[in-house]
Amino acid sequence: MSTEKTVPAGLYAIIDTTYVAVDDIGEVASKILAGGCKTIQLRAKGLKAADKLRAARLLKVLAAKSGATFIVNDRVDIAMLSNADGVHVGQVDLPIKDVRELLKGVQIIGLSTHNIDEAREAQSLGADYIAVGPIYRTQTKHDAEEPKGTEVLREIVQSVNLPVVAIGGITLDNVDEVLATGARAVAMISEILLSDDITAETARIVERIEQIAKKG
């Protein structure tokens, strides 16, 4: 994992148990990491706590072997017990100051935001990075807000001094315009998890992002 206290630039892959069976989590993560992804997040809304912890501990080991960053969605306790590199929380989860107290300032804390006000508040509260979205319409979250588009994303990127992870409906076809806003990373779920060859698809995305970065 990078020693920088934020998520690496590039692809931020989310392993969502809506798409991945609990017994397949390790295999899927291994395929994503083999494709060159340097950040993986476990989003396991429907799993029992014991299964979440078991999966998180496995993903931490796999990520560490690949030099990748491992983030747990929502569950601060699971992040602590699995020694995850960080936790990502939403607007209705534990306040950042309480999360920071529990984590003793060691791990990365990310916060979901949807507008400039939330982004600025996240910065004032001490988030290490923010996620902004949904950028495009997405099928992953049925309760997602209306798409923000790249112009709103650009405004948010320019309004804060925090790394921004763009999320929501991002694919290989639109990643160029998303990264053109100055976002540090792009989160993808179904684009990777529903592909016929997860490792190859991940590698294609990583390569495309690297090409964009070289162009400046």
As annotated, the active-site residues are: 43, 112, 141
Return phi, psi of residue 206, to 5°. Answer: -60, -45
Instruction: Report the C-alpha gap between 129 and 156 in whole angstroms.
Output: 12
Give the rounded distance of the alpha carbon of 107 from its chain centre.
Answer: 14
Instruction: Report the C-alpha gap between 92 and 147 in whole angstroms.
Output: 20
> How open is the CA angle 59-65-69, to the nearest 5 degrees?
60
Instruction: Report the C-alpha gap between 31 and 37 in whole angstroms.
Output: 9
Q: How many C-beta atoms lie closer than 10 Å to residue 42's C-beta?
A: 30
